Amino acid sequence: MQTIKFTINMFSNQDIHTLYKTKKREFKFVPRIINPVKIANVVIFSAEERVRQASGILKENIPWIKVDVLPDPISASNYGSEQASVLIFDDIAMTLIDDKKIRKNVQDVVLVLLSSNSMIHCSPPVVAQEKFPYTNKADLVFAINHSEFVPEKILPSVVRCAEDKLNIEKYSKARRFIFLIVDDEPRWFSQFLPTLYNIIGQRADVMITRTYEETLHFLFGVEDEAEIDEENYCSHGHGDDVVCVITDIFFPKGRILKYDAGKDLFNLISKYYPRIPIIIASKAKESYDLKDFAFIMPKGDKGSLQILKGYIHDFTGMGDFFIRGKTGKIYHRLRNIRELYQIMLKAETNTEDGQELREILETYGRKDYFSTWLYMHGFRELADKLRPKRDTGKRLITVLKRHLKREILRMNDTPLIIDGNKVFNLYDLLHTLRTIDPDKIQYLSDNDFFSNWLDRKGYPELAEEFRPIHGSGAKLEEALADIVEKWIHIYERKEGKLR
């Protein structure tokens, strides 16, 4: 594994002249907002006290949301709002409410069932609906219990998942990135989603499907495999937006739970979207038949979620950019676009290593690896320009160099603006966080603006530490400032005075 070091010699004298010539020009920082419609209200009606008490965790972790706990089914059924809302019920409450009336009163609403029923925890939708018809009222079903799936642990992820579902299905036609989870058991969502959201922050959405037919429709916009448009399949469904599929191997296909469902899904994705990494979350021995083509994660094993975090970072554009050979050997590990630019310089050389690099990068261009990684690290416009690149040889390298160089030269002149204060570097950011009214940073933190900007500036480690932070007021401001100060010292020891 090689380490890439950025120096000013990467650019020609003309490039440097351009940098200083445009120094006084500022470029607007356009943050990535994955969900234009935000959940404004959470309404809880539950016979279980622990669910009602868990409302406090929402006020702490998602302070901009209004949370109401309703006392009776009439109040819940009559609930109305012009804002996007999530209504959360337990098993008893779901049997009592009028879901059709709620949907009529609230245009943007997601109904969630938090079930304590152990059979519902591990049942496919059709089985649960036949035995417990009230489950059919819910848009999302999650498992709760007194140990692993306690309400206060999963509630923030439940609300976020509802927001993702609403935006994917009804809003924002812009390019988005989606983690697709395919599993028929609600207990898996309760176990897995808190970890997944901590990993991805606001960089991607999550969509849940529970049957083969639901998944087929989501990916391709069809009801049957024979209906897939061989020429224009990217124009239908959401398959082109999916960056990772996390799937069980057994889930319903045609109302029957069978291994063929997972295998058939794997074959479809491999045929139409070979760029999408697949994680098989299963302990079934049949899953190991696909171990050469997918990452196998034994569901529920100790340490499996931590291993998953590393895999997601390495293979979905969330972490460093890896240059891998045909055997999977890592040749280079790149942290930012400066280091990616230097790889382009190596690839344009008339050497054996240069030729091998060009061949690898051609494959990366065809599989859309560049744009996925750039999008995840805040370079939305650049990602769109490079998506996908089908040039070959030195022509590909020339195109990539031109776009990367332009973005690098702009970075120093793209400030993060906080209540009129222009932040150009980490010192500016620390000073602003120490002195500004805490209320002025809430929106930026909640929507991942800080991490988005830090990624662009080439500080991925600091950006990563910002992502799981929740809270409000002076405590949030102090936490963010302390983290920035810590990383300034770390970066100064490595690089000296920061740009």
The dihedrals phi and psi of 470, each to the nearest 5 degrees, come to: -125, 165
* Residue 264 CA: distances (Å) to CA of 35, 127, 251, 296: 31, 22, 11, 17
Domain ends where: 143, 173, 203?
A: 173
Together in a domain, 344 and 386: yes
Across the range 240-255, mean pLDDT stands at: 90
Together in a domain, 401 and 441: no
Across the range 130-151, mean pLDDT stands at: 96
pLDDT at 200: 86
pLDDT at 238: 92
Together in a domain, 288 and 403: no
**Is residue 334 included in any domain, yes or no?**
yes
Together in a domain, 361 and 446: no
Domain ends where: 355, 377, 411?
A: 411
Across the range 173-191, mean pLDDT stands at: 89
Together in a domain, 55 and 162: yes
pLDDT at 24: 57
Strand-pair category, 178-182 with 66-69: unpaired
Together in a domain, 60 and 164: yes
pLDDT exceeds 60 at position 367: yes
Together in a domain, 420 and 386: no
Together in a domain, 188 and 303: yes
pLDDT exceeds 80 at position 260: yes
Query: In the structure encoding, which two tokens stand for residue 427, read together?
Result: 């010192």
pLDDT at 20: 42
Q: How confident is the model at residue 172 (pLDDT cuts 50, 70, 90)?
A: low
Q: How confident is the model at residue 389 (pLDDT cuts 50, 70, 90)?
A: low
**Is residue 139 included in any domain, yes or no?**
yes
Least confident of 17-21, 31-35, 217-221, 426-430: 17-21
**Is residue 359 included in any domain, yes or no?**
yes
Across the range 400-422, mean pLDDT stands at: 91
Strand extents, DSSP E, 70-115: 85-90, 109-115
User: Which residue in 388, 317, 380 sits closest to 174, CA to CA?
Assistant: 380
**Is residue 218 included in any domain, yes or no?**
yes
Domain ends where: 152, 173, 194?
A: 173
Q: How confident is the model at residue 85 (pLDDT cuts 50, 70, 90)?
A: very high
| Position with higher pLDDT, 300 vs 113 | 113
Together in a domain, 281 and 340: no
**Is residue 1 included in any domain, yes or no?**
no
pLDDT exceeds 90 at position 180: yes
Q: What CATH number is attached to the domain comprising 297?
A: 3.40.50.2300
| Position with higher pLDDT, 148 vs 94 | 94
pLDDT exceeds 90 at position 473: no
By residue range, what is the domain housing residue 350?
Answer: 8-30+320-411
Together in a domain, 334 and 382: yes
The dihedrals phi and psi of 273, each to the nearest 5 degrees, come to: -135, 65
pLDDT exceeds 60 at position 17: no
DSSP letters spanning 109-137: EEEEEEE--HHHHT--HHHHHHH-GGGGG
**Is residue 378 included in any domain, yes or no?**
yes
**Is residue 2 included in any domain, yes or no?**
no
Together in a domain, 166 and 253: no
pLDDT at 468: 64
Hey, what amino acid is at 168? I
Q: State how many domains the chain has.
A: 4
**Is residue 429 included in any domain, yes or no?**
yes
pLDDT exceeds 90 at position 166: yes
Strand-pair category, 330-334 with 421-423: unpaired
Across the range 78-106, mean pLDDT stands at: 97
Together in a domain, 216 and 264: yes
Per-residue pLDDT of 273-294, as tens digits, reads 988 889 988 888 887 887 777 8
pLDDT at 74: 97
